[in-house]
Amino acid sequence: MSNKEISQANQNTYEVKSKCPIIYALDIIGQKWKIPIMWHLSDQESIRYNELKRSVPGITNMMLTKSLQELVAHQLVNRVQYDTIPPKVEYSLTEKGKTLLPVLDKLHIWGEEQIKLDKLDYK
């Protein structure tokens, strides 16, 4: 390992240890599309790319691909590619990803409550 690589590794370790846990968590899942992707993945054992895209209204192919790559890199989502013609890829939550489900469920309930309150405010 070169001195530059060691310095970068030390910097990364320092950044991880010195971060606020909330900021660190949001760095991982805080992007606009990651939570909705994980929410839809929680509904099924596994799901194919196009099915997932239809489940998340408004997401582009580029953002879905980028978000899935990042979730896979953080070991929150599994990606399984089958060697078939045409190629088949399925996504599912990992055990680590499933640990977020209680938090996502609470966030979903809170969001529903806010929608109801906002509807009352506009009447």
67-81 pLDDT, tens per residue?
999 999 999 999 999
What pLDDT is attached to residue 52? 95
Q: Looking at the structure, tell me whether residues 23 and 49 fall in a common domain.
A: no
Query: CA of 120: how far to CAs of 73, 109, 115, 116, 117, in Å?
Result: 41, 17, 9, 6, 5
What pLDDT is attached to residue 46? 93
User: At 33, is the secondary structure helix, strand, or coil?
Assistant: coil
What pLDDT is attached to residue 22? 83
Q: Looking at the structure, tell me whether residues 66 and 97 fall in a common domain.
A: yes
What pLDDT is attached to residue 2? 55
Q: Looking at the structure, tell me whether residues 18 and 60 fall in a common domain.
A: no
Query: CA of 85: how far to CAs of 43, 47, 78, 81, 89, in Å?
Result: 27, 18, 21, 11, 11
Q: Looking at the structure, tell me whether residues 51 and 8 fall in a common domain.
A: no
Q: Looking at the structure, tell me whether residues 49 and 25 fall in a common domain.
A: no
Domain holding 103, by residue range, is 32-121
CATH code for the domain in which residue 53 is found: 1.10.10.10
Q: Looking at the structure, tell me whether residues 36 and 66 fall in a common domain.
A: yes
CB-CB contact of 31 with 16 (8 Å) = no
Tell me the HSE value of 43 on the side-chain side, using a 13 A CA sphere.
11
94-117 pLDDT, tens per residue?
999 999 999 999 999 999 999 988
> To 5 degrees, how large is the angle CA 87–CA 88–CA 94?
140
User: At 81, is the secondary structure helix, strand, or coil?
Assistant: strand
User: Mean of the per-residue pLDDT values for the chain?
Assistant: 86
Q: What total number of domains does the chain contain? A: 2
E strands present in the chain: 47-48, 77-82, 88-93
Q: Looking at the structure, tell me whether residues 50 and 95 fall in a common domain.
A: yes
